[in-house]
Amino acid sequence: MKTLIVYTSQTGFTQRYAEWLAEEMKADILNLKEAQKKDEKYFDSYDAIIYGGWAMAGTVTKVKWFLDKASSWEDKRLALFCVGGGPNDSPDIEVMFNKTLNDNQKKHIKTFYCQGGFNYEKMNAPSKMAMKMFVSSQKRKKNQTEDEKKMVEMISSSYDISDKKFIAPIVEYFESEN
Ligand SMILES: Cc1cc2nc3c(=O)[nH]c(=O)nc-3n(C[C@H](O)[C@H](O)[C@H](O)COP(=O)(O)O)c2cc1C
């Protein structure tokens, strides 16, 4: 199955997962900026296309590009993976994918989540500012639960909870559909 992986990444976590996938699946890989320069024909030869974006405020970054294209890729096997700062078992993941895809897209596009982390050193100024505001608003919140306190503590500085093992379900999905 000829596969293409398109990704967008600000601080490197999504890029790392895209590269792990490309290596494991022997797939081609393109940064979204490069993919946006390609014409329609370029994608014709691919049997499968996977889009990877990072989680931002409960949505998947720049997913619109992929969803717009996906409507004309009905003959291809499609998947979407999202990389976020939260753990793989977070209930927020389902909420995010439910918000991101409509019912028709859900039938055609398989979704996956891979836990990433936070890298404040590589983050741009608007992202740093947004995170600073989010952390201080959470700290001001009264009656914080223990889980919320832990989460705020965790996202106050950089951490890395990424692991190659999280690509396994994606690889398996494409192998099983061969
Ligand atoms: C402004 C902002 C909002 C974010 N919102 C979420 C979120 O809603 N859920 C989540 O799990 N992670 C969230 N994150 C964390 C990023 O998704 C995480 O750092 C991810 O690993 C970044 O991927 P990248 O290194 O490919 O850019 C947010 C990060 C920023 C900067």
Q: What's residue 104's pLDDT?
A: 94
pLDDT tens-digit map of 36-75:
999 999 999 999 999 999 999 999 999 999 999 999 998 9
Q: What's residue 141's pLDDT?
A: 87
Q: How many CA atoms lie within 13 A of 160 on its CB side?
A: 12
Structure tokens that stand for 154 in this block: 């965790």
Residue environment code for 98-119, b if the CB has 16+ CB neighbours within 10 A, otherwise e: eebbeeebeeebbbbbbbbbbe
With beta carbons less than 8 A apart as the criterion, state whether 115 and 146 touch.
no
Q: Is 53 in the pocket of ligand 1 (CB under 6 A)?
A: no
* Summary mean pLDDT of the chain: 95
Q: What's residue 177's pLDDT?
A: 58
| Residue of 7, 15, 54, 61 with the most ligand 1 atoms within 8 Å of its CB, for mutation | 54
With beta carbons less than 8 A apart as the criterion, state whether 7 and 29 touch.
yes
What confidence category does residue 128 fall into, taking pLDDT thresholds of 50, 70 and 90? very high
Domain range list for the chain: 3-119+160-176, 120-157
Q: What's residue 148's pLDDT?
A: 87
For residues 62, 68, 73 and 76, what is the CA-based torsion angle, rounded to 10 degrees? 30
Residue environment code for 35-54, b if the CB has 16+ CB neighbours within 10 A, otherwise e: beeeeeeebeebebbbbbbb
Is the predicted pLDDT of residue 146 greater than 80, yes or no? yes
Residue with CA closest to ligand 1 atom 22: 54
What CATH number is given for 3-119+160-176 in this structure? Answer: 3.40.50.360
Is the predicted pLDDT of residue 78 greater than 70, yes or no? yes
Q: What average pLDDT does the segment 144-171 reach?
A: 94
Q: What's residue 178's pLDDT?
A: 54
Q: What's residue 107's pLDDT?
A: 94
With beta carbons less than 8 A apart as the criterion, state whether 165 and 151 touch.
no
